[in-house]
Amino acid sequence: MSKVMIVTGGSRGIGAAISKAAAASDYAVAVNYHARADDADNLVREINEQGGTALAIKADISDPAQVKVLFEGVKSKLGVPSVLVNNAGTTGKICRLDEVEAETMSRVLGINTMGALYCSQEAVKLMSSKHGGCGGSIVTVSSIAARLGSPGEYVWYAASKAAVDAMTVGLAKEVGGEGIRVNAVSPGIIDTEIHALGGEPGRVDRIAPAIPMKRAGTAQEIANAVLWLCSDQASYCNGTILDCSGGR
C-alpha cells in the first residue's frame, strides 16, 4: 500500500508538525490549506529540500465540492491516500455562548465537524475494500474540550469536537471490516497560535498551573501520537480516542 497522507489544515501549528513527522516517516504528504498559502508553500519547500515529498493544495474543507477537488488532486499527483488526518480546526473568539455570533458558530461547525465528515467520506470512497480500495487509516484531531465543555470560552467549539468523537466511534464500527481504521487524538492545551487567534495570547500561561503536568503540550507531541495511530504499531486500534492532555 502506498504511503500518501493528507493533512487538512496542515500548514501551521499541529498540522505542520504532523506534516513534517509524516514526511520523516516516508509519507508523501498533501498539505491542505485554505488561506495561508505562504505558510503552506514554505513548509512544502522545507520538506522537499530535506528529501521528502510534499505538495500544497488549497481547499476550504467546509465546502464538499472543494473537498472532492482536494482528493482528486491528491490522487492524481501523489497517488491514492492511505492516511487522512482531519486536523483543520478553528475556535472563534473566546466568549460565552450568549455572546457569540451565529456566523462564528456556523463557521466552526462547518470546518471542525462537517469538514471532518466530508473528508472522511471521500477517504472511505478511496480506501474501503467495498469500493475496491486497499484500506487505510483516518485520524482526527479532536480536543478534550469535547469532554470538558469549554464553559466561558467556546462551548460551540466543544460541541463541534464532541461530534467528531461520535464520528470516530461510529465510522470505526462502520468501516473497520473494510480495511480502514478510524481513530482520534484528543489534545489538551497545546502551545500554538490558536490561543492568540481566539483572542487570548496568554491562555497557555493562565491554564498551565491547573494541568497535572504543569505545562502545555507541544505540537510535536500531538504529531507523535497521530503518527503512532497511523502506524502498524497501532494495528488493533480502531475507534480509539487517545487523550494527550497532560492528565487534564
Length of the chain: 248
Which amino acid, 46? Answer: E
Q: Which residue has 481513530 as its cell numbers?
A: 183
* Beta carbons of 142 and 241 less than 8 angstroms apart: yes
Q: Are 99 and 151 in contact (CB under 8 A)?
A: no
Of the residues 33, 118, 154, 157, only one is catalytic, namely 157
145: Cα separation from own chain's centroid: 15
CA distance 183 to 235: 11
- Cross-sheet strand order for the sheet of 53-58: 53-58, 28-33, 4-7, 83-86, 136-141, 180-187, 241-244
Is 27 among the residues known to form the active site? Answer: no
Identify the burial level of 177 via C-beta atoms within 10 angstroms of its C-beta, where 0-12 means exposed, 13-18 middle and 19 or more buried.
exposed
Cβ atoms of residues 200 and 206 within 8 Å? yes
Alpha-carbon distance 221 to 204, whole Å? 16
Element (H, E) at 166: helix 155-175
Catalytic residues: 157
